[in-house]
Structure 1
Amino acid sequence: MTVELKRNLPAELAQHVRIRGHELITDAALAEGGDDAGPSPHDLYDAALGACKAVTVMWYARKKGIPVDDIQTRVERDDSQERSGVYRLSAKLQIKGALTDAQLQELHAVAQKCPVHKLMSTVTTEITTDVERMP
């Protein structure tokens, strides 16, 4: 899969992002010199974790017949030590449904194992970057 980005002119920093058939804008906040035309790359990173946890829990609940009617997820960021190598994310899932305590604990365990959580915490990501002139 390829993610494509192009500068969102005339904005200084904003990027037009295309993922499969989906499009969105990412930008820096006003305080960082952007126009705040969309979420920042850090925001998207954090949102990926929350979305993955919610999707994973909903998928699992549906597969196992666990009665989940709704789910809301909140991700809090503490980037105060990012430059020192520590980036903290805290995810809170609120689940609505006629759940037993055991089912709620089961869904908690599932949320801890979502693929993006694993990518962020246990997988080594190798990145290569090429820079070339535009034709």
Structure 2
Amino acid sequence: MSIQITRDRSAAMRHIIHINGQAIAADATLAEGGEGSGASPHDLYDAALGACKALTVLWYAQKRNIPVEDIGVTVTRDDSGERAGIYRLDTQLTVSGALSEEQTAELLRVARKCPVHKLMTEVKTEITTSLSLSSR
């Protein structure tokens, strides 16, 4: 899979992220020289965790016939220790449906094991970066 990010020259720092035919705007905050016209890279990182938890819980509930009607996730970031190597994300799931205590506990266990949660906490990510010059 390949994700393409292209500059949107209509704004100072705005870029458009292209994923599977979808477009998502990314921008820096006003304080960082952008216009705040899109999600910041940190926002996207945090949102990936929340979206993964919501999708994982819903998928699991559907597979197990657990009567989940709706799911919402709030991700709260504490980046005050980021420069010291600590980046904290608090995820709060809100689930509606006629759920037993056992089902609620089961869904919480599943949410804690979503693939992005594991990726962020258990997997070593290796990144390579290269740069090529284009003639414009």
4+ long deviations beyond 6 Å: none
**TM-score, with normalisation over the residues of structure 2?**
0.97
CA deviation after TM superposition for structure 1 residue 20, in Å: 1.0
Matches of 2:94 and 2:20 in 1, distance apart?
30
CA deviation after TM superposition for structure 1 residue 76, in Å: 0.1
CA deviation after TM superposition for structure 1 residue 37, in Å: 1.0
CA deviation after TM superposition for structure 1 residue 10, in Å: 2.7
How many residues align? The count is: 135
CA deviation after TM superposition for structure 1 residue 22, in Å: 0.4
Secondary structure in 1 matching 2:38: coil
- Percent pairwise identity: 54
Q: Which runs of 5+ in 1 are unaligned?
A: none
1:30 equivalent in alignment to 2:30: yes
- Residue 121 (structure 2) aligns with: 121
CA deviation after TM superposition for structure 1 residue 13, in Å: 1.3
Matches of 1:122 and 1:134 in 2, distance apart?
37
- Residue 93 (structure 1) aligns with: 93
Matches of 1:24 and 1:73 in 2, distance apart?
19
- Residue 84 (structure 1) aligns with: 84
Q: Which runs of 5+ in 2 are unaligned?
A: none
Secondary structure in 2 matching 1:94: strand
Alignment-mate amino acid for residue 100 of structure 1: S
What's the C-alpha RMSD, in Å, of the aligned pairs? 0.7
**TM-score, with normalisation over the residues of structure 1?**
0.98
- Residue 8 (structure 1) aligns with: 8
CA deviation after TM superposition for structure 1 residue 35, in Å: 0.7
Alignment-mate amino acid for residue 40 of structure 2: S
